[in-house]
Structure 1
Amino acid sequence: MVHPPQNPALAAALTVAASAFAAGTTLLAKALGTDALGPPLHALQISHGRFLFAFIAIFSAALIMRPAFTRPSWGWHLGRSTLGWLGVTMMFAAAAFIPLSDATAISFLNPVFGMLFAIPFLGERIGPWRWGSTAIALIGAFVLMRPGAGALQIGALIAVASALFLGAEVIFIKLLSGKETPFQILLVNNALGLVISSIATVIVWQSPTSAQWLALAGIGILMASAQTCFVNAMRMADASFVAPFFYCALAFAAFYDAAVFHVLPDKISIAGATLILASAGILAWRETRNR
């Protein structure tokens, strides 16, 4: 059993970096799922590209670094990879139906699901400060969902399902992080994800344009970077502590929308993002003070 040192501050920083990379993948997925780069690609094909290029990047690093491997926990890996593939595919699909900021806001409710799953499955204790900060983040997410303004359409429902699957995936990541090295977890996950997505994409495959191939490669590289940061963060702090920091992806998504699609966040977006980021700040301050 591997027992890495606990470092909540570094875990928080790594999770924020992971959220920036993950938001970038959603931005590229939106471009691929619409006509921005050519004929729209199906979400199954986009997630296949994500696993394909992420696996190439991680496998290439393995050939260079030649890290030591132990016997994988195949059951946990398969559960994690299946949940991750479902969550990512649904997130990419949602981004094509609703605005990027709304899709990200709804989908990244997964930290709430991750925290709730951590109670029965990991036996983690959730104190009042964590409950309070999570409640603030949840309120911020609902503000961004714009209830009553037409946001809760099919795309929003797909994003909620994505959040549920990604939240459940967090539990498998935490279980694996105590038994195997981050590099091995990433390599096995992307290998299994590539197999699953390759089978699924056969029925919807179409030849991507050159620009779409570049975007698919970008998704894979960004997701591999996000996974590297997140898996290491999970080794340094409790899942219930790490998960809420992934809400920062909302702020990054709003920035990407403005920079690429020239969509400026309105007052509702700013209010919701402020609440979510404030909740993460409160949690980090409290955890640091306790330690």
Structure 2
Amino acid sequence: MTLRAANPPLAIAFMMTATAFIAATMVMAKSLGTDTLGPPLHPLQISHGRFLFAFIAIATAAAVLRPRIAEPNLKLHFGRTLFGWGGVTFMFSAVAFIPLSDATAISFLNPVFGMLLAIPLLGERVGPWRWGAAGTALIGALILLRPGPESFQLAGLLALGAAFLMGMELIFIKKLANREPGFQILLINNAIGLCIATLAVLPVWTPPTGAQWGALAALGVLMATAQACFVNAMARADASFITPFSYVTLIFAGLYDLLLFDVWPDWISILGALIILSGASLLAWRERRVRFLR
């Protein structure tokens, strides 16, 4: 894979574009999981549409660009995709019941779970700064879950489960990093994801309305474009530098929620989101410092 020259401003532009598209996929998932565009679709059908149309978009690009395909590690790809598919499906379930901003904020726990899982699975050591960042982010998640008999958000547990599964996905991404070209990873990820999603959706598939077909197509294309932007951002700047900009997804999610669903964030949502972002930002800062000191 040809290494690209470092270009932080362009990396930020790619990451900001990716965040806008990722938040837009949540909007599509929320519309499909509620009665906005017709009878609500099952989350398994929504995730199937995401992989179907994302694969079509990426496969079309592959047919035009004809990239060189190196020998892939299919075991790592399958593990990464299985947990990624599960995380996406859980997230699409959550956004049908809770505000986009809350689900998005909870999803930012995935690097925290990735850090915790790296201890037994990758043998990594975690110091007090990392434990402090993880604890801070988890406190924010507990606030967003609104622990109480009248305010507890059960659907928030779906978002929490999504963050855990995506944390597992990060373990496989770490193992794949620097082994294969980014485009190849995207192509194989979406091909395997489509196979998994197709098998899973068969028992619950129902014919979508015309509007739902359009939303499913938009969901897949938006996700494929977001992934491409993310890969390009990571190729042009250090991960520790560019990753914090992904938190802008929360701003876009809140904005879309307000404009499209007239959902205003309450003080609990704002407080929980700020605490999660503080913990995630501290973790990103610490990772960058550790790499710099090495």
Distance 1:271 1:11, change over 3 A: farther
Alpha carbons of 1:220 and 1:181: their partners in 2 closer, same or farther (altered >3 Å)? Answer: same
Q: What is the alpha-carbon distance in structure 2 between the residues aligned to residue 143 and residue 12 of structure 1?
A: 33
Q: For structure 2, which runs of at least 5 residues remain unmatched after alignment?
A: none
Instruction: Identify which range, 181-190 or 60-69, moves more after superposition.
Output: 60-69
Q: Which moved more, 1:207-216 or 1:105-114?
A: 105-114
Counterpart of 2:139 in structure 1 is 139
Q: Following TM superposition, by how much is the alpha carbon of 1:156 offset from its aligned partner in structure 2, in angstroms?
A: 2.2
CA distance in 1, matches of 2:174, 2:25: 23
- The verdict on how the C-alpha distance between 1:95 and 1:167 changes in structure 2, with shifts beyond 3 A counting, is same
> Offset at 1:118?
2.7
Asked if 1:254 corresponds to 2:250, the answer is no
- TM-score, structure 1 length as denominator? 0.84
Contact 2:48-2:194 within 8 A present in 1 as well = yes
Partners of 1:247 and 1:276 within 8 A in 2:
no
List alignment gaps of at least 5 residues for structure 1.
none
1:179-201 Cα deviation digits (max 9, x unpaired): 10110000001001111111111
Stretch moving more, 95-104 or 171-180:
95-104
Matching residue of 1:93: 93
Per the alignment, residue 59 of structure 1 pairs with 59
Aligned to 2:25: 25
User: Residue in 1 aligned with 2:169?
Assistant: 169
1:203 is paired with a residue whose SS is coil
8 Å Cα contact 1:110/1:167 also seen in 2: yes
CA contact (8 A) 1:251 1:273 kept: no
Aligned partners of 1:16 and 1:245 also within 8 Å: yes
Which residue number corresponds to residue 220 of structure 1?
Answer: 220
Alpha-carbon distance change, 54 to 76 in structure 1, aligned in 2, over 3 angstroms: same
| Structure 1 equivalent of residue 209 of structure 2 | 209
Q: Paired residue for 2:119?
A: 119
Compared with structure 1, are the counterparts of its residues 10 and 186 closer, same or farther at alpha carbon in structure 2 (3 Å cutoff)?
farther
Q: Residues 266 and 99 from structure 1, CA distance in 2 versus in 1: closer, same or farther, beyond 3 angstroms?
A: same
Partner of 2:178: 178
Q: Which amino acid aligns with 2:79?
A: G
Query: Matched residues in 1 for 2:134 and 2:20: separation?
Result: 20
Once residues 145 and 203 of structure 1 are traced to their aligned partners in structure 2, the CA distance between those partners, rounded to angstroms, is: 31
Shift of 1:127: 4.7
- Distance, in Å, in 2 between the alignment partners of 1:91 and 1:139 is 20
Q: Deviations over 1:227-263 (max 9, x none)?
A: 234445667656x887776554333322211111111
Q: Distance in 2 between matches of 1:10 and 1:129?
A: 29
Q: Retained in 1: the 8 A contact 2:112–2:280? A: no
Q: 1:145 to 1:153 in 2, by over 3 A?
A: closer
State the alpha-carbon separation in 1 of the partners of residues 32 and 39 from structure 2. 8
| Equivalent in the alignment of 1:155 | 155
* Cα 1:112/1:285, change in 2 over 3 Å: closer
With over 3 angstroms needed to count, the CA separation of the structure-2 counterparts of 1:151 and 1:75, relative to structure 1, is: farther
> Which has the higher mean CA deviation after the structures are superposed, 103-112 or 217-226?
103-112
| Aligned-residue identity in percent | 57
Aligned length: 289
CA distance 1:135–1:154, shift in 2 (3 Å): closer
For 1:10-48, what per-residue CA distance to the aligned partner results, in whole angstroms no more than 9, with x for missing partners? 798465654443222122111101100111111111001
Answer yes or no: is the 8 Å Cα contact 2:83–2:169 preserved in 1: yes
**What is the distance in 1 between the residues matched to 2:207 and 2:26?**
21
More deviation, 163-172/224-233: 224-233
Contact 1:245 1:280 (8 Å CA) reproduced: no
- Output the amino acid matched with 1:174: K
Alignment of 1:254-273 (within 5 A): 254-273=254-273
8 Å Cα contact 1:9-1:288 kept in structure 2: no
Specify the alignment match of 1:78 in structure 2: 78
CA drift of 1:216 comes to 0.8
TM-score, normalisation: structure 2 = 0.83
By how many angstroms is 1:137 displaced? 3.0
